[in-house]
Structure 1
Amino acid sequence: MPTTIASARAEFIRQMSRDNSATERPRLLEVLDAMITWSQAHASLVRFRADGDPKGAIRFEEVATGGVFWAATPRRENVPLLQLLPGSNHLLSDADRSDAVSRLNAVTREGNPAGRLQLGFGALKNPAARAAVMQLMDELAEKVEAARSHARRVAVAAAVKPGGVPFQHATSSKVFCTQMAFEVASEAIQVLGGNGLTREYPVEKIFRDARASLIEDGENGMLGLMAAARL
């Protein structure tokens, strides 16, 4: 069983490779390596737990308490799960916490908007994880407001302009707004994890409705082609 960081990383890659495509692996390894690098730079706070996990999990624990600080675990038929565990919320100073979040954001968001950091739902109790999710929520709110602004602008133009707005303008509003709705609903499910797929939360219905909106009243791809022909 792996008892060093290098051997644990190799085992993690081996198990992850069963269920993740070759194109996905570099992005996922970037996240893992960013966490390992940050942890090694803060050796007085956290250390590698050399317990040889048979499932390929990599864990770093608090030096002071021995409690797990973060863990990365391969999962069958899914992307690996990265958890920042609740018991670690007292460990970092505000400066260190901001540093950790910014390093993670650098490899999970910039230039790769679809590659969101996978977080366990319980990790939201941790300030660092909560800050990352709150930043994501702010980004989603910006998308919603942009879609609303676009729709209002076209609606006002249609109301005051004789003959209404050109087809391509109306089409762009429909395509943009429905695409934003789908992206926001998808990210909302990602934040909630498995709970987002249950009927106990309204987000699963919102997601279904948003997905249907890409097709109803004209499929977005076809509308785009029709609008392009009128330019």
Structure 2
Amino acid sequence: MNCPYCHRPAQFLTSLDYYGRDFGTNVYVCIPCGASVGTHRRSKRPLGTMANAELRGLRKQAHYLFDPLWRNKLMGRKAAYKILRKMMGLSKEQAHIGMFNKGQCLVLIEILSKYWNTHQIQQTTQKEIRTMFKSENHKKQTDLILDLLGEKPFDQVDDTFYRSFAYVAGAVNKFNEIKETLSLDGIDLDQLYEEMGRFSSSEKAMIRFAIQCFNGRLDDITLPQVMHSLDSENSNVIKEAIGIRY
């Protein structure tokens, strides 16, 4: 093997000879250029192409961004490398970061940096949304209410009127009792108020506030009246709903 920088023949050394420590591998190295590449275990088969310090650093950065795709089980390893081939326009034989040049590394680093930034934002947003709900059932009932109203799930719907109504009504945990009052046409208030006759005082207060979030002209309940009968958990729901609606 020749050095790609100075074209001199590379030396073939054990990792113990080169690094002063035995890693169970060998290495091709060009001492004048500082270029090197390791081998598959103790064989003579290189892991890629020889690289100087700059390129080795870029390859490490590319691996740092690429490997979590399959190491963290976001997808299988084969699927990850298939995507790598498609992104970089490479054959199966070429799609190894250990064979990448500087330009290829920079392209992959840019692509994956954007991916992870977006992924982190999405993960943060999902975490923030989950903490808004009292429980998984609260989230489930909120989404069921939105679905009956012809809206997307809570984390996708843009309409703050529907969003705040469903969020508060879902916290009451009375979906089965109120589902017949909801449709693509909106809310059947007469039927809903009739159903509320069987609710507790705190449940009634929350449903009335949900209606007010949907349309302030439909119910005149005041915030102190709502809060008066609620525990701290449901009080937090009302506070979150105010943030959603207003």
Higher radius of gyration, 1 or 2: 2
Q: TM-score, normalised by structure 1?
A: 0.25
Identify which of structures 1 and 2 has the higher relative contact order when contacts are C-alpha pairs closer than 8 Å and 6+ apart.
1
TM value normalised by structure 2:
0.24
